[in-house]
Amino acid sequence: MSSNLKGPVLFAKVGWMKFYNGPRPEDPKPIGGGLNNKENFGHEGFNFRCHGNRLLGFVAAPAQEGKLDLQRIDPSPVARNRTRGATVIFVATEPRVCGQKIVGWYRNATIHSERIPYDPSIREGMMREVKPTFPRFRPSGYQFEGNLADATLLPLAQRRSQRVSIPKKNGVGQANVCYPLDKYGRMNPQKLKWMREALEYVSSYSRPNLLTEDGIQDELENAVSVVTESGDGFLSDPRIRKEIEEYAMACARKYLIRRKYKEITRTDDRHCYDFTCREDGETIYVEVKGTQTRGEKVFITKNEKANLESNPNTILYVRHSVDVAAGKRIRVSGGVEKVINRWDARLGSFAPVTYLYTLPVSE
C-alpha cells in the first residue's frame, strides 16, 4: 500500500458517547458530530452494540449519499465495493475540553463503499429503542463490519489520558471521514505522521476495554474510588482527579531521574502500568498513585494486580496527602512520597471492593 500504513485504514468522526450501545438515561445520545445529533439520534450511537459477535458501524459520510471512496483507503483493483482486513478508528470531540480523541476501533474489519441495510430484526430493535424519544429516527444502514474479539471501546479515563495528537489541518476536520490517500493515491507526509502515531497506539493498547468484563470492572473500581474519596471528605471532580494524577506522575518521573534509572518511558495511556525504565539491563515497571488521603490504602485495578504478579521488577510510587486548591485553575502541590521498590504482592493485602453482577437473560 502506497501509504505505508500496513493495511487499509480509515478514520471516522462520530459524536461523543460513553458506550455507543443505544440510548441510556446516563448516555442518551451522541454529543456533537453534526446537526443530526442535535435534533435526532445519530446512528453511530449503535456502533458498539454487539449482534452476537458482530459490530455494525456507521459514519455520516460527507458526499455521494454516504458512499465511501475505497480507492482512497485501499487502491488495489479489487477494492471497489468493499475492502477487508481494515482498521477503522473512531474519533470524537470530548465535550468538556473540545479535544479530538480516539474513542475506539475495529481491527480486521470490512469497509463497504455503500451503506448496507440492517437486518429487519436489528432495524426493528433500534426503532423500538429510539423512536419514542426521537420520532424522526430512521436506521439507514452501516458501512463497517467488525468482530467483537477485534474491537476496543475505550473507557473515559483512557480517552482523556491518551497523548495521540489528531490535528484538524491535514487531519480529521469538518468532514466526518479522513482517508489516508488523496484522490490520486498519494499520501500527505504530515497526515502520515499522525496516522502512524494513532496506529501505534491502537496496536500497542492493553488497558481496559469497555466491551469486556475486565473493562467494566475497571470502570466500577474507578467509581468506587470516587465514592470513597468523597466519603472521606475530599474533592472528587474528574478535573481534580486528573490534576492529582498528573502531579503524581511528574513527581514519580523526578524520583526515577533522581535514582538514575535509564530510558524512562511513560506508558499509562496504553498499558496498565505508568512508566517503564531500565536498571542494569532489566526492564522496571512503575505504578503511580496520587491521592489526597493519607495513603494508607490505594486502589489497584485487576489488570494492575495481574501485572504486578507477573512482573516482580515493579515499583509502586505513591504521592499521598497532596494539597488541592480548586478554582478556575486547579493547583496541586505538596504531599508525601512513599515508594516500594521491588513491590511484592505478598506484602500488604488486597481486599475486594466491588462485584460485577451479570443479569439473567430476559425471557
Q: Alpha carbon 4 to chain centroid distance?
A: 24
DSSP3 helix / strand / coil % (the chain, rounded to 5)? 30, 25, 45
Q: Of the candidates 181, 211, 241, which is a domain's last residue?
A: 211
Residue 182 near residue 260, CB atoms below 8 Å: no
Q: 225 pLDDT band (50/70/90 cuts)?
A: low
How far apart CA 40 and CA 130 sit, in angstroms, is 9
Domain that holds residue 328: 232-340
Read off the pLDDT of each residue in 231-254 and give the average, rounded to a whole number: 80
Per the structure, how many domains does the chain have? 2
Average pLDDT in the chain: 85
DSSP string, 109-166: EEEEEEEEPPPHHHHHHHHHHHTTT-TT-----EEEEEEGGGEEE--HHHHHH-----
Higher pLDDT, 242 or 46: 46
Q: Do residues 184 and 258 share a domain?
A: no
pLDDT at residue 277 greater than cutoff 80:
yes
pLDDT at residue 231 greater than cutoff 80:
no
Q: Kindly state whether residue 254 falls inside one of the protein's structural domains.
A: yes
Q: Kindly state whether residue 347 falls inside one of the protein's structural domains.
A: no
- pTM summary value: 0.78
pLDDT value of position 1:
40
pLDDT value of position 98:
65
Beta strands in 229-281 (DSSP E): 262-266, 275-279
pLDDT at residue 2 greater than cutoff 70:
no
Q: 234 pLDDT band (50/70/90 cuts)?
A: low
Q: Of the candidates 211, 240, 268, which is a domain's last residue?
A: 211
pLDDT value of position 353:
64
Quick: pLDDT tens for 33-69: 776 777 889 899 999 999 989 999 999 876 556 689 8
Q: Kindly state whether residue 171 falls inside one of the protein's structural domains.
A: yes
pLDDT at residue 94 greater than cutoff 50:
yes
Q: Strands 262-266, 275-279: parallel, antiparallel or unpaired by DSSP?
A: antiparallel
Q: Kindly state whether residue 354 falls inside one of the protein's structural domains.
A: no
pLDDT value of position 363:
44
- Which of the given ranges, 40-44, 103-107, 173-177, has the highest pLDDT on average? 103-107
pLDDT at residue 207 greater than cutoff 90:
no
pLDDT value of position 206:
87
Q: Do residues 185 and 275 share a domain?
A: no
Specify which residues 35 forms β-bridges with: none
